[in-house]
Amino acid sequence: MASQSPSGIFRRYRWTELGLFIIPFLIVILEMSQLLLANKDQTSSLSTRNLPTIQGLIPAIGLIAALLIANMVMSVFFRKADQVLLPLVGLLSGIGILMATRLGPDLNPFPDPALGSRQLVWVLLGIFVCLATLFLLRNINLLARYKYTAAFLGIVLVCTTLVNTLRVKNLDSPTHDQLNLGPFALQPSELLKICLVIFFAAYLSENRDIFAEGSLKFGPFRLPPLRQLGPLTLMLGIALLFFLFVRELGLALLIYGLFLSMLYLASGKFSYVATGLLIFAALGLIGYSLFSYVRTRFAVVGFNVVNWQNWTAKDDRFATNGGLQILQGLIALSSGGILGAGLGLGNPAGRYFVPVVQSDMVFTALGEELGLAVLFAIIAIYLLIIYRGFRIAIEATDTFNQLLAAGLTSIFAIQTFIIIAGNMKFLPLTGIPLPFLSYGGSSILANYIIVGILLRISYNTAVERDGTA
């Protein structure tokens, strides 16, 4: 490093990032104080005996301290990395922690007052893993050389899901994507996403010329030659088949969407996307007519909620069994209104309200308590993260880095879209967690790894562009 004089360090600190952190810290403290005050309000649904003051304080203060430390560490070692990503991600993590703190004591079958603290532990681990990724990924192109290892790791993770399914034998629950190691419930599919992106990015960047040419012709449609298309479709087919067998529709949709977007980004040919969408529509129709579970999932989407006064007995039964989660979620969203009920003052969780609200339906809980205005702001935050990810991809100097950044951003975007659409009855509900906001350790870790990789790519680009660190 050049000069270590005080004025040099002062000028070279990551001031933009620190300035952007101010409002998130204020929001976290504000919400924490609102939670503690709502504790005192007699009309709130929050059980006073289940939220001691300290348990309300620890998550907020812990997060602020961790983000400040991360900012300092990055200023010392990675000064030139992107400065806008961490504040956005930190704000979402903060809102997620506070929501988990609020929902924990009210959860219905098993109230859990320490949910917020556990979410905080995962976020702290996530920040640590993000920094570790920054330090470890000195040469990102090394990932490209290990692409088949990454693919193999992905297949292993998929196999654990398969084993779990065969063990559980109850194929109607929405997700089998769980690996229980002692007290920790992990979702292997989160790590699988990253492995798949690495494999696709490496493979597509190596064979970019051949894909851009597209020498296999089917009438007006062009496809890459079979020798290159082979490993890609094999990997895609393995993932899709597993998820269709295991009835994880959301993951199948996610992987297929990722495949199409990376193929388009690498080759620039819209005809590949058109072919892919046609195949997807064909497979969807076949699946719909063959498998009953696909029909039941989509039945929720077509269910007429507005006309509730004219429901038949069959509709009533559906509303209390299969469609309960979604309908309660919609009721929560609508009762929130524009301003929301206030954190701690609504009824998102509990015996008669939204089931499994802390992980699958946290968007509806946010809608009920914080309102439409905040929901728009949260969607805007996701859009800004996605924008930043794509910008990091554009500025990257190397095709593999570009495809890796764009692929990770795409999967982040597709995942957010699928779960928000699922919460609003626009698509069938899936087990995919909302990044950073829903309670779930492996989702937080995987998304912080994605943020770490994006920051490292931006750092490498800035170093190469300026010539010095």
Partner 1 sequence: MPLDAFLLVLRLLLIVLLYLFLMQVVIAITRDLRKTAQNSTEGGGQVASILGHLVVVDSGPSSITPGTRFDLETQTTIGRGPTNTIQLPDSFISAEHTRLSYRNGQWSVQDAGSVNGTFVNNQPAYNALPAKAGDIVRVGYIQFKLTQ
Residues that bind partner 1 (CB under 8 A): 16, 19-20, 23-24, 26-27, 30-31, 33-34, 37-38, 40-41, 83-84, 87-88, 91, 139, 141, 205-206, 208-209, 212, 339-340, 342-343, 345, 370-371, 373-374, 377, 380-381, 384, 387-388, 397-400, 464, 467
- 44 versus 325: smaller Cβ distance to partner 1: 44
The CB-of-370 to partner 1 minimum distance in angstroms stands at 7
Cα(293)–Cα(173) distance, rounded to whole angstroms?
Answer: 10
Cβ nearer to partner 1, comparing 152 with 376: 376
Compute the least distance from the CB of residue 244 to partner 1, in Å: 34
Nearer to partner 1, 87 or 433 (CB): 87
**Least distance in angstroms from the C-beta of 304 to partner 1:** 33
Least distance (Å) between residue 464 CB and partner 1? 8
Q: Tell the smallest beta-carbon distance from residue 147 to partner 1 (Å).
A: 13
**E strands along 209-264, which residues?**
216-218, 221-223
Contact 84, 457 (CB under 8 A): no
Q: In 3D, which of 239, 268, 213 has the Cα closest to residue 406?
A: 268
Q: Which is nearer to partner 1, 86 or 432 (CB)?
A: 86
Find out whether 249 and 431 touch, Cβ atoms under 8 Å: no
Question: CB 162 → partner 1: shortest distance, Å?
Answer: 35
* Pick 226 or 339: Cβ nearer partner 1: 339
- What residue type is 454 in one-letter code? L
Residue among 27 and 73 whose Cβ is closer to partner 1: 27
Question: To the nearest whole angstrom, how small is the minimum distance from the Cβ of residue 435 to partner 1?
Answer: 17
DSSP state letters, 401-448 = HHHHHHHHHHHHHHHHHHHHHHHTTSS---SPPPTTTS--HHHHHHHH
Query: Which one-letter amino acid corresponds to residue 167?
Result: R
Nearest alpha carbon to residue 396 among 449, 457, 468, 466: 457
Q: What is the DSSP string of 251-315?
A: HHHHHHHHHHHHHHHHH--HHHHHHHHHHHHHHHHHHHHH-HHHHHHHHHHH---TTGGG--HHH
Helices and strands, number each (H, E), in the chain: 18, 4
User: Taking a C-beta distance cutoff of 8 angstroms, is the pair 222, 216 a contact?
Assistant: yes
Nearer to partner 1, 26 or 156 (CB): 26
